[in-house]
Amino acid sequence: MKNATSIWMAVLTFTAVILAAILLSSHSQNAQAAMINAQADYSLITSGVNGGDEALFIVDKASQKMVAYQIRGTELIPLAGTSFR
């Protein structure tokens, strides 16, 4: 019984090492999303910013204006443009 437990521990350790090697060797990319609809009056684009926060860009097609917000937790901070609020 002790030998079987040692074999399973070795298999699990080997699997963990392989998965860690795959994870560390893969290239990570920031998540990005966009909502661009030709029929809508606005477009929403998100992007990552330094420090781990997110930025939200809103383009109002009718008024030809763009505003950028920084999203920090649940707080919306205007970065550029005129606030739409």
User: Domain limits of the chain?
Assistant: 2-80
pLDDT digits (tens, 9 = 90+) for 9-53: 999 999 999 998 888 887 666 655 666 666 778 888 888 777 777
Structure-model confidence comparison of residues 73 and 36, the more confident one:
73
Structure confidence at residue 82 (pLDDT) = 60
Backbone φ/ψ region at 64: left (φ over 0), alpha (ψ -120 to 50), beta: left
Is pLDDT above 80 for 66?
yes
Cβ atoms 43, 61 nearer than 8 A = yes
Is pLDDT above 60 for 84?
no
Structure confidence at residue 18 (pLDDT) = 92
SS3 content of the chain, % helix, strand, coil (to 5): 30, 35, 35
